[in-house]
Amino acid sequence: MNREVHWIMTASPTAKQSLSSFTDSAGLTWRHWLYFALITLILLADGMEVTLISHTFPSLVKEWGVSVGGGITLVVTAGFITMGAGAMIAGRFADLAGRKTVLTSAAGLFSIATTLGATSQDFTGFAVWRLIACLGIGAVMPTGVTLLADLVPAKRRGAMVAAAYAGVGLGTTVGAALAGTLIPTGGWRSLLVTGGLAPVAIIIVLALVVPEPPAFYAVRGATERARQGLARLVPKADLANVDLTPPAKEENKDSIRVILTKRFARTTVLLWVFGFFSLGTQLLIAQYLPTLLQQPFPGLNTVQSSTIVGAYGFSSVLGGLLLGVILMKVSRYMTISIVLAMSVVMTLVIAFIPSPGFSSLLPLFTIAGFILPTGFGPTRNILAAAAYPTAVRGTGVGMTELGARLGSAAGGAAGGTLIGAGLGLSAIFLAILVPLAILLGALAGLRAEAKRTGSRAGTPEEEAGPVLAPPIVAR
């Protein structure tokens, strides 16, 4: 027998396949889609909780005499700082204790605290419960993204994260619909009770159904648990030749140190800047849009402003889903840069619209919702989830989210200050051009770093690794 043929016949059955290449070659199963759906629902609840509070502000101003530039701005700013702390803590614990454990605990925390916020008898009590809720809200995003990124095939990671983030936009729509329905009839307290209790069933199902990712166990040397988790994801596959060897020792160092090493330091800083200005701008709009729309000019009522915010949020869902589809084929850097350039155009259109009223603002913000939240929302998580290996992904995404939440605090403070100083809808949107320019610059820096470190410039295959052979499926 020819020696080369003999080597192939004898060596192939024992060739080891990496965990990443195995999951990529196996593709998406119905289990992946189930986990994706549950994580998306948790992100929906997270998005709803973030924006629910903004719909209570006009009522709090009337009931307790709280000023927008004073107490409201303080709660918004402190809330975002607390979210950042929650993101940082959760990211670190997700790498130590498990993604699912931290995710369900964080979701339970914001659910309980939001519900109990309805019992507040004064603004101080309201603020305390809000800050407790913000700790959980901030923790959900990085752990949810990390859990999903570790569960799905690497080649589909960016697309799935983008699609799941659409749940945040849908949460904005649900929150706006609840506010428009409940506040006129039951007041702001009924809104907090309903919004707080709604996620409970989702949290319970996710805790029972979604597993910890096999990669999480593999990088810690828990080979048998990793193999069991992989069998749960792809139950009919032959796992005998899957290499579950733990990573090199340097990847098992303290995860914060790893993301600040020469290999990752520039990327970490650029992601922090990107997160700071992306979510800061996104939540400035989300938190203050109802207030801006209900100012004497344009002078909309609660139902009208809630309708516009709801349309804005629903459009963001479609934008996020489309982004996920595009990312399956196109470089994430190219895709995100185009979305940000479109955001610049959309911001200028809103700033210079003549005589804004409900009939003109509704279609305009419906279009804007398709573009702006897509550029500001999922992009930081898409970039961060792809930038770090599994062993430190939770910490890397968490640190990016810390920057994002601190940016939200800065945006919240700036928004309240500017509105308190008399700036209206047009002036606020003109100011948004500044963070958009910074985001485009940070994105260019991240792309340059990807080229410097030898990655494939953000292509969908960048993290997949070589596909050695398809998994052997039992017949």
Burial class (CB in 10 A: 0-12, 13-18, 19+), 70: exposed
CA distance 288 to 54: 7
In sequence order, which ranges of 210-254 are alpha helices (DSSP H)? 214-218, 223-233
CA distance 31 to 44: 20
> Alpha-carbon torsion 271, 276, 277, 283, what sign?
positive
Per-residue pLDDT tens listing for the chain (475 residues) = 444 444 334 444 455 666 667 776 767 788 889 999 999 999 999 888 877 887 888 888 888 888 766 788 788 778 878 888 888 888 778 878 888 999 999 999 999 999 999 999 999 999 999 999 999 998 998 899 889 988 888 778 878 888 888 787 788 778 878 888 898 888 999 999 999 999 999 999 999 999 888 877 877 777 778 777 777 777 776 666 776 666 555 444 566 777 777 778 888 889 999 999 998 888 788 778 888 888 777 778 878 887 888 788 778 888 888 888 888 788 889 999 999 999 999 999 988 887 778 888 888 889 998 899 888 888 888 888 888 777 777 777 888 888 887 887 787 778 778 887 778 888 888 989 999 999 999 999 988 887 876 554 444 444 443 333 333 333 2
CA distance 422 to 416: 10
What pTM value is reported for the model?
0.72
Cβ-Cβ contacts under 8 Å for 227 (sequence gap 6 or more): 214, 239, 242, 244
If you count them, how many residues does the chain have?
Answer: 475
Number of neighbouring beta carbons within 10 Å of residue 349: 12
DSSP 22-79: HHHHH---HHHHHHHHHHHHHHHHHHHHHHHHHHHHHHHHHHH---IIIIIHHHHHHH
pLDDT for the residue 15: 55
Please report, for the chain, the start and end positions of each structural domain, with discontinuous segments joined by +: 18-452
Beta carbons of 408 and 82 less than 8 angstroms apart = no
DSSP-assigned beta bridge partners for residue 17: 242
DSSP category for residue 377: S
pLDDT for the residue 12: 43
What is the longest distance spanned by two Cα atoms in the chain? 91
Which of 176, 191, 184 is closest to 51 using CA atoms?
176
pLDDT for the residue 434: 92
CATH topology of domain 18-452: Growth Hormone; Chain: A; (1.20.1250)
pLDDT for the residue 2: 45
Which of 285, 431, 429, 419 is closest to 351 using CA atoms?
429
Cα pseudo-dihedral 201, 40, 89, 375, rounded to 10: -150
Which residue bears the tokens 């009839």?
185
